[in-house]
Amino acid sequence: MTRIFFATDVHGSERAFRKFVSAGPFYKAGIVILGGDITGKMMVPIVQKNENAYDAYYYQNKVEVDNEKELEKFENEWKNSGYYPYHCSQDELAAITNDREKAGAILFGLMKERLEAWIKLIEEKLRGTGVKVYITGGNDDPYEVESILRTSDFIIDPEGQVVKIDDNKEMISSGFSNPTPWKTPREVSEERLRDEIEKMTSKVQDMKNCIFNIHVPPKDSQLDTCPKLDESVYPPKPILEKGRLVEFGAGSSSVRLAIEKNQPLLTLCGHIHESRGAIKIGRTVCINPGSEYQEGILRGAVVDLKKDKIDDYQLTSG
Amino acid sequence: MVRPCGRLSELSLSGTPAEGPAYVRKASGLVRELNARDFAFFNLAGFGLFFSLFYWVSLTPLIGGNYLVGFLLYVLAALCVTMIYYCFMVIMPRSGGDYVFVSRSMHPAIGFIGNLTFGVFWLLFVAVTAVTITSTGLTAFFGYVGIVYNLPSMVSIATAMTTPFWIFVLGVVWVLLGAFIAIPSLRTYLRIQQVIIIIVVLFYIIGLVTLAAATSSSFTSSFNSFTSQYTANTADHYSGVISAAASDGWAIPDQTSLWGSVLLLPAFGVVGFFQWNANVGGEIRSPKKTALYGLVVGAMIFLGLLAVATALLYRVAGFNFLSSIDYLLFNDPSKIPLPMLPYAGILIALTMPPWLGAIYTLIPAIQQILFIPSAYLVFSRGLFAYSFDGVLPKWFANVNSKTHGPLNAIVTSVIVSFILFIIVELPASSSYAFLFSSVFTWITTILPTLFVALAAILLFKLRPQLNELSPIKGIKLVIPGIISIIFIFIITYLCLTNPIYGANSPIGIYTAVGVVVAIGLVYLVSRIRRGRLLELSFKEIPPA
């Protein structure tokens, strides 16, 4: 039997990632897989006002911090929520406020720095333990994430490949998503997504024992239910009808089609954090463990695999 | 400094990325449909405004004590309990209510036993309700109409409805009607709930107005006139009720005793602590706001409405009269000069014009009908949560894509309630069913409430990270936890040591203990089958 642990959408959360590192030994899983959206999305500029006083700019609000100890506490909270504290001068703050490109470059640098630290941590903690680690990017992750992950000789980035995870299980992986209102780095059309998946499925030797590790969930599967957004404004706003949120399935029709057509053993997805659950499409068990990274909680799924079948699975909240 | 992000979900209504769990749905497939009003109404459907009033008025005058003191003590208990539930609903806005709260903060076995015990008895209460809709609700309506409009055939119908045959036939109808409302979708239920609860509250308030306008002498006159039409003699039945009770051993309860005031707690407590609706926590929008208004504020408003009606009845009908008629109700109902049981609805209807009184006596039955689908929704969400976590088979967690509800769990609830209905129906008698239900109401309430209160006390120690998410943190959450536990122990002690509540009956205690043990065994089997993984899934992973 092969036990895998799958989590996704940690979005830069230091605490959630550190829990992921511990998850293999904790759940006695020989294989741990981190789905896409590993990087965070927000920088928190911190400007020193005087010797012990700081202003932090958090969600368009200014947080005034009186001492180093409190600042450290705030910084840890922000890191655990997936944000990137960034110490800068008042002048630099003004510069990055007016120059989005510069702000983006700094944010990318912070993301790279944290990801590299994570790679180092995972190598330190798991090398020699027998736990195999697979990490892919997601639609929120810049393409450069692949090259950073591939600097490791321990972590496997299976993006766009068919990889054999044990004697008889193959896995295909994709961090692409269908279009979202947010215009994120790895959004592609449904046609392109279908082609990307087909490129991999055509190489799978035994579909009965194949795992689809695809970031975006299948369309209208209950693993993809979220509020419908009005894209005519930015940031997009939820649409209300008679005072109620309009919800819909934001998943991918190409992913659904690929599952229906190929009927793999298991599909692991994420993307829609609140649609945690497990369903079946034909013989395929599809799992979205959801995400609660902002609270530092690592949601995941432990799956026990046997040849041609799933022995058992358990959604976890660690 | 915020780059575009593909998380479609984490957007607050203001359109900015959410801080904390502002809009996060954590239950699979279930859709967040309930706003604060729906949530408060759901609570009201659970505890039943009229039914709760009937309980209070049929028990509190028997006990005596200072009504206001007893009531304020109960408000303190209910406030503490609802505040704790509110905090947990904000921390863990998931379907399954106290099962989720306790399983995450203490142990899944404790959460499972507490919530499923509540769920089983809640379905038993469906079975009892399927009896009492007919035996107390419809008989009141037909009896009232028959008397005030001098229609003997209607009185005969009221009498016939207390027979086992009609209680069974109509009970089946009520169970099926409840299933018919609950199965299509939560939205369908909510639409029906909104209409019924608005009607219920409207008539309840009309009742308050007519009670406030009535005097003691006008009530006495109405009661005598009403009973004269039924008994065909013009005796002073009002005084006759008091004399009959006195000759049967009734004595005026002491209204000044502090102990009597404390004794009132279980009587108020038969309606529970208003936390039923936490089981649908995965389907409420904006948990922080909805749980506060729908649970805490809603509960306080409803408690206020109950207290005002009871106090007005004390004033208008008279404490001694209420106490004596309640005494006869439980000891010798044949001496009550009425064709129906004298619950508060009939007494309030006597302060109204006949046409209004006729409609008024029908409303409690309508509200009771609403309780059945609401209970199915509550129980099914529990099944869904246990199944989602792997404690019960995953089949219960299947969410129907059309109804957005856990259809298998709802259908299971209907089947179980029907079996329980047949069991309750076997020794059918309305007052037996009524007493049976009152025993179980408090039993079902104390166990999960005790566990949740313990979880509140220990949260900062056991799960400091979750404690940080609570609107009331640390020691501030410990205080309502301790107060709640004190009240739970007082209520339990009083219930078990006073025969008036019927809770110390062997059948009540054996059934309660039996169900708890059986549920514990179910968990044990699941634990053996799933291995340690089941419990690990609730534990926090130590970060590397």
Higher-confidence residue: B281 or A16?
A: A16
Confidence label for B199 from pLDDT (cuts 50, 70 and 90): very high
Residue A207 has pLDDT above 50, yes or no: yes
- Note whether B540 contacts A11, CB cutoff 8 Å: no
Residue B11 pLDDT > 60: no
> Cβ–Cβ of B15/A125 closer than 8 Å?
no
Lowest-confidence segment of A201-205, B171-175, B241-245, B487-491 by average pLDDT:
B487-491
B514 or A289, which is more confident? A289
Q: Which of residues 128-167 of A touch B (CB under 8 A)?
A: 138-140
Gap between the Cα atoms of B34 and B70, Å rounded: 33
- Verify whether the Cβ–Cβ distance A180 to B21 is below 8 Å: no
Asked whether residue A43 carries a pLDDT value surpassing 60, the answer given is yes
Q: Is the pLDDT of residue B429 over 60?
A: no
Cβ contact A244–B35 (<8 Å): yes
* Contact predicate B458/B104, CB 8 Å: no
- Whole-angstrom Cα distance, residue B214 to residue B221? 11
A125-134, B394-403, B457-466: which has the minimum mean pLDDT?
B394-403
Indicate the pairing of strand A170-174 with strand A210-214. parallel
Q: Does A285 reach chain B within 8 Å, measured CB to CB? A: no
C-alpha pair distances (Å), B240 with each of B247, B319, B334, B370, B462: 10, 15, 13, 37, 61
Residues A314, B11: C-beta atoms closer than 8 Å: no
What is the model's pLDDT at position A86? 92
Is residue B439 pLDDT above 80, yes or no?
A: no
- Whether A98 has its CB under 8 Å from any CB of chain B: the answer is no
**Interface contact A18, partner B, CB < 8 A:** yes
Residue B280 has pLDDT above 60, yes or no: yes
Give the mean pLDDT of chain B. 84
At A150, the amino acid letter reads R
Tens-place pLDDT, residues B15-30:
233 333 222 222 234 5
**pLDDT reported for residue B502:** 64
Residue B315 confidence (pLDDT)? 94
CA B436 – CA A220 distance, rounded (Å): 46
Predicted pLDDT of residue B290 = 87
Greater confidence (A206 vs A233) lies with A206
Measured in angstroms, the CA of A192 and the nearest CA of chain B are apart by 18
d(CA A163, nearest CA chain B) in Å: 27
φ/ψ (deg, to 5) at B263 = -60, -20
A69-90 residue pLDDT tens: 888 988 998 899 899 999 998 8
pLDDT for residue B453 is more than 90: yes
Contacts of B7 in chain A (CB under 8 A): 9, 11, 37, 140, 182, 273
In chain A, pLDDT over 90 holds for what percent of residues? Answer: 60
Q: Is A240 helix (H, G, I), strand (E, B) or coil?
A: strand
- Residue B437: per-residue pLDDT: 60
Look at strands A210-214 and A266-268 and give their pairing.
Answer: parallel
CB contact under 8 A, A312 and B533: yes
In Å, what is the CA distance from B223 to each residue of A182, B146, B156, B352, B519?
Answer: 70, 15, 20, 12, 49
A45 part of contact set with chain B, CB < 8 Å = yes
Q: What is the pLDDT of residue A98?
A: 83
Q: Which of B7, B185, B284 to mutate to test the interface with A (most CBs of A within 10 A)?
A: B7
- The pLDDT of residue B438 is 60
Closest CA to B135 of B355, B389, B343: B343
Most confident among A245-249, B4-8, B188-192, B272-276 (mean pLDDT): B188-192
Q: State the average pLDDT over residues A232-246.
A: 75
B291 to each of B85, B92, B288, B304, how far by Cα in Å? 8, 11, 6, 19
With a CB cutoff of 8 Å and minimum separation 6, the contacts of A236 are A181, A182, A229, A230, B11, B15
| Whether the Cβ atoms of residue A131 and residue A29 lie closer than 8 Å to each other | yes
Q: Dihedral sign for Cα B382, B388, B392, B395, please.
A: positive
Cα dihedral A193/A199/A201/A202 (nearest 10): 150
Q: What is the pLDDT of residues A249-280, one digit of tens each?
A: 889 999 999 999 999 999 999 999 888 888 88
Instruction: Return the pLDDT at B503.
Output: 65
Model confidence at B529, in pLDDT bands (50, 70, 90)? confident
Residue B477 has pLDDT above 50, yes or no: yes
Over range A65-69, report the average pLDDT. 86
Q: CB of A23 within 8 A of CB of A298?
A: yes
**CB-neighbour burial class of residue A50 (10 A; exposed 0-12, middle 13-18, buried 19+):** exposed
Dump pLDDT digits (tens) for B492-528: 888 778 776 666 677 767 777 888 899 999 999 999 9
In sequence order, the 6+-apart residues with CB closer than 8 A to the CB of B80 are: B453, B480, B481, B483, B484, B487
How close, in Å, is residue B394 to chain A by CA atoms?
9
Separation between Cα atoms, residue B131 and residue B133, nearest integer Å: 6
Cβ–Cβ gap A315/B389 under 8 Å: yes
- Report pLDDT for B96: 87
Residue B237 to residue B224: CA distance in whole angstroms: 5
Interface A:B, Cβ pairs < 8 A: 173
Q: In the prediction, which pLDDT does B25 show?
A: 24
Query: Rounded to an integer, what distance in angstroms lies between the CA atom of residue B519 and that of residue B525?
Result: 10
Q: Which residue has the tokens 């700094």?
A: A106
Q: Are A235 and B11 an interchain contact pair (Cβ–Cβ within 8 Å)?
A: yes
Helix and strand totals (H; E) in chain A: 7, 21
Min CA distance, A205 vs chain B (Å)? 30
B296 contacts: CB under 8 Å, gap ≥ 6: B79, B82, B83, B86
- How far does A164 lie from chain B, in Å, by closest CA? 25
- Record the pTM: 0.82
Q: Are A162 and A33 in contact (CB under 8 A)?
A: no
Mark which residues 236-275 of A lie under 8 Å from B by CB: 236-238, 243-245, 247, 250, 271-275
| Residue B217 token pair | 């002498």
Chain A residues inside the 8 Å CB shell of B33: 244
B99 contacts on A by Cβ (under 8 Å): none
pLDDT at A134 over 90: yes
Contact yes or no for A35/A202 (Cβ under 8 A): no
Q: How far apart are CA B403 and CA B398, in angstroms?
A: 11
What are residue A225's phi and psi, to 5 degrees?
A: -80, 125
Beta-strand ranges (E) seen in A205-276 are: 210-214, 225-227, 229-230, 237-238, 240-241, 244-245, 247-249, 266-268
Is B486's pLDDT higher than 90? yes
ipTM: 0.85
B contacts of A237 (beta carbons < 8 Å): 11, 13, 15
Pair type for strands A42-48 and A247-249: unpaired
CB atoms within 10 A of CB A27: 23
Instruction: Quote the pLDDT of residue B32.
Output: 63
Alpha carbons B342 and B237: distance in angstroms, whole number: 13
CA distance B188 to chain A (A): 14
Q: Do B542 and A222 touch (CB under 8 A)?
A: no
Q: How many C-beta neighbours within 10 Å does residue B471 have?
A: 15
Out of A103, A121, A272, closest to residue B9 by CB: A272
User: Which one has a higher pLDDT value, B520 or A49?
Assistant: B520
Q: CA B286, CA B301: separation in Å to the nearest integer?
A: 21
| Residue B271: pLDDT band with limits 50, 70, 90 | low
Confidence class of residue B5 from pLDDT cuts 50, 70 and 90? Answer: very low
Q: pLDDT tens digits for B357-399?
A: 999 999 999 999 999 999 999 999 899 999 988 899 888 888 7
Distance from CA of A166 to the nearest CA of B (A): 22
Give the C-alpha separation, B452 to B35, whole Å.
24
B interface mutation test: which of A183, A186, A222, A242 has the most B CBs within 10 A? A222
Residue A199 Cα, gap to closest chain B Cα (Å): 25
The shortest C-alpha distance from A127 to chain B (Å) reads: 14
Name the percent of chain B lying above pLDDT 90. 39
Q: Which residue has the higher pLDDT, B163 or A29?
A: A29
CA dist., res. B118 & res. B64, Å (int): 30
| Residues B538, A11: C-beta atoms closer than 8 Å | no
A302/B533 Cβ within 8 A: yes
Contact B389, B112 (CB under 8 A): no
